[in-house]
Amino acid sequence: MSETLKILYVDDENDIREIAVMALELDSEISVRSCDSGSDALTIVRDWLPDLILLDVMMPGMDGPETLARLRSTAETASIPVVFTTARTQPEDLERFMSLGAAGVVSKPFDPMTLADQARKLFAKTKS
């Protein structure tokens, strides 16, 4: 049995967040927490230190790229892999997100049945 993967899912849209959390929790070896803003994410990350963060790009207040920049500026959170979730998946968008330091991008709408597997694969890629 492998170690539990701790994932923080951040999205300002309640419906999407609920579906994502349910989808990730289908994998018994994934522990999930969620929140609806970048500022809440920064607080949770300090207390919980997830293995992976799935982070919405477009949120009011602090958006995904700004949240990622703040995570990278603190030693204890700088190495946590962050995967952006977004409907903006044109090649230039993907290139920009990766240049910001994202470990990957999950396009929206995502398939709830494969989200946990996608998250595991992206996490594994950061460890290889």
CATH of the domain at 101: 3.40.50.2300
Nearest to 106 by CA among 128, 89, 81, 123: 89
- The structural domain count of the chain equals 1
Cβ contact 51:123 at 8 Å: yes
Spans in the chain with pLDDT lower than 70: 1-2
Asked if residue 56 belongs to a domain, the reply is yes
Cβ contact 106:54 at 8 Å: yes
Asked if residue 127 belongs to a domain, the reply is no
Residue 3 is predicted with a pLDDT of: 83
Asked if residue 126 belongs to a domain, the reply is no
Vertex 11 angle, CA 49 and 88, to 5°: 115
Asked if residue 87 belongs to a domain, the reply is yes
pTM: 0.96
Residue 1 is predicted with a pLDDT of: 45
Asked if residue 128 belongs to a domain, the reply is no
Asked if residue 29 belongs to a domain, the reply is yes
Q: Which residue range(s) make up the domain with 39?
A: 5-121
DSSP H or E run through 123: helix 115-127
Cβ contact 5:52 at 8 Å: yes
What residue ranges in the chain does DSSP mark as E strands? 5-10, 30-35, 52-56, 82-86, 104-107
Residue 2 is predicted with a pLDDT of: 59
